[in-house]
Amino acid sequence: MVRLFLAINLPVEVRREVTAAATPLRECAPELSWVSELRLHLTLKFLGEQEPDRLDDLKAATAGVAGRHREFVMTLGGIGAFPNFRRPRVVWMDVAQDARLELLHHDVEVAYESLGFEIEGRAFRPHLTLARVRAPLADEPRRQLSRAAREIDYRTDFVVRSIDLMQSELSSTPSYTTLVSAALRSD
């Protein structure tokens, strides 16, 4: 079995910038489980544990969706938490809502539904996960984290050129491997 997901991976320089921008958050809440620079991405769809013999169909579906979409600009910036900073479980960087991203996500859902995957029941909330909160934070660290998040003034744009079928290997330091990078149209 292989653990898979579909993602938009960030250019190296953007991952570096995002990590640098989030430094004040890491400094005030080092106990959180911070996502390493190499693993920053936007998840389009989590596929879970799959049999290796499904990989060819999954790669073909990914390429099919990518071939129907043009490259587009994605905007990052702003820090938030799910469900909120009073009870944070995930700290994230916002991905601006964009009709092209919404359509890409919709087409991923439809293509993978035809392969037997359930359509995600909740609304698509594009974000980059920066950290996971494993244990509830005490009041003061939680307030410090919320203040630090409001003070971060980082925004950037980059061109999304592909969607990637990724394999996740869980361990004490999880790693991701790109199985296929399906190019979006550049015309």
Domains of the chain: 2-183 (3.90.1140.10)
Q: What is the DSSP letter of 2?
A: E
pLDDT at residue 174, rounded to an integer: 79
- Which comes out higher in pLDDT, residue 187 or 181? 181
pLDDT at residue 2, rounded to an integer: 95
pLDDT per residue over 104-121, tens digit each? 999 999 999 999 999 998
Residue 27 token pair? 């400094």
Residue 173, pLDDT above cutoff 80:
no
pLDDT band at 76 (very low <50, low <70, confident <90, very high): very high
Beta strand extents in the chain (DSSP E only) = 2-9, 33-34, 41-50, 72-82, 90-95, 127-132, 155-160, 162-169, 175-183
The phi and psi torsions of 35 (rounded to 5 degrees) equal -75, 130
pLDDT per residue over 6-38, tens digit each? 999 999 999 999 999 999 999 999 999 999 999
Question: 0.85 cut: is pTM over it?
Answer: yes
Residue 172, pLDDT above cutoff 80:
no
Name the nearest CA neighbour of 74 among 141, 7, 27.
7
**How many other C-beta atoms can be found within 10 angstroms of the C-beta atom of residue 172?**
4
**Cα separation, 78 vs 72, whole angstroms:** 20
Question: Treating both helix axes as pointing N-terminal to C-terminal, what angle do 55-67 and 99-113 enclose, rounded to 10 degrees?
Answer: 150
pLDDT band at 171 (very low <50, low <70, confident <90, very high): confident
pLDDT per residue over 139-160, tens digit each? 999 999 999 999 999 999 999 9
pLDDT per residue over 30-74, tens digit each? 999 999 999 999 999 999 999 999 999 999 999 999 999 999 999
Encode 98-128: b = buried (16+ Cβ within 10 Å), e = exposed.
Answer: eeebeebbebbbebbeeeebeeeeeebebbb
